[in-house]
Amino acid sequence: MDRFLLNRVFESFSGKKILVVGDVMADAYVWGSVTRISPEAPVPVVSVDKKEYRLGGSANVAKNLKSLGSVPIICSIIGDDDAGKIFRNLLAENEMTDNGIITSNNRCTTVKTRIISSSQQLLRIDEEDIYDAVFNDSETLVNVVENFIEEGVDAIVFEDYDKGVLTKETIDRIIELANQHGVITTVDPKKRNFLHYHDVTLFKPNLKEIKEGLNVEIHPAEKEKFVETAKSFLQEKGFENLVVTLSEYGIFGMAKTGDYKFFPAEKRSIADVSGAGDTVISMLTLCLTAGCKLEDAIYIANLAGGLVCEKVGVVPVDKTELYDEVVERI
């Protein structure tokens, strides 16, 4: 990719309307210092310096999309609770609409609290419901998504964290609506619904997810077996593209034509891998809306994922920083 084309791609992100459908959460951070061990149990005592909340789950994908210049719209279900109010306030603070957010009395708002000291995460506390959304809430969610599709969107990201917002029926109906309207669909899956996705533009599991989802033992070092498994899965499910993030082994990409490539991992000073997958799916989605070839989309997404791993906590990619790094390499 030359610099002229890169400029066109990055400029095209501005104004793209992207639906992000899936599980949202509020990420809570407690920052402090450890100077002693508790006399009550062999655990560190954290002296709290500050607390803060950030958008998490599929909302972090939305935050990445916004940081890249697009217009994200989150479609999800939260609880009628204090955490739900905090979540809506976070959307407002980040200048994102809550028009796609449904408040339900049937579940709580997911909160993940991370205890951090000296840039190290000591503990995480999860407050969540993980059962499937009830029928009425799912119906409302599909109707909300349908209304946005009819108004016009450039892509839909399924951001699945196995918390129950996405069910098989909801997935089937939204994919059908998207394909009827020619809307790009990308998927960041988890185990429960792994085999429920089909006929999407791009499916992006990580290595652990594809091994668990397909119940197979594969490794990137065994390239022939890996490629055969990927090709069979792609063809069976009707995906246009399959991308597998491989952690220290890089990223694998395959198109429906059967063309594939292994991309080596970027050497980085890793501080925190939290949210890297959110950055990768955001970047891949926007690159597809810009008309990028799969190879170019993966290359840019690989760099973007590496950049956020250098920062502590779940943070979005910086568009200018990413652009500068890509330019240095072309």
pLDDT above 60 for 139: yes
Per-residue confidence at 275, pLDDT binned at 50, 70, 90?
A: low
Give 142-198 as a DSSP string. HHHHHHHHHH--SEEEEE--SSSSS-HHHHHHHHHHHHHTT-EEEEE--STTGGG--
Helix or strand (DSSP H, E) at 112? strand 110-117
Helix or strand (DSSP H, E) at 127? strand 120-127
Domain boundary assignment for the chain: 3-25+57-109+129-328
The whole-number average pLDDT for the span 84-108 is 97
Lowest mean pLDDT among 100-109, 247-256, 271-280, 296-305: 271-280
pLDDT at 313: 55
- Give the model confidence (pLDDT) of 30-59 as tens digits: 999 999 999 999 999 999 999 999 999 999
278 a catalytic residue? yes
Report d(CA 308, CA 312) in Å as an integer. Answer: 8
pTM, two decimal places: 0.91
pLDDT at 271: 44
The whole-number average pLDDT for the span 297-302 is 90
Compute the C-alpha angle 179/19/174, nearest 5°: 35
Assign domain 3-25+57-109+129-328 to its CATH architecture. Answer: 3-Layer(aba) Sandwich (3.40)
* Structural tokens at position 223: 């390239």
Catalytically annotated residue among 23, 154, 278, 324:
278
Report d(CA 330, CA 328) in Å as an integer. Answer: 6
The whole-number average pLDDT for the span 27-32 is 95
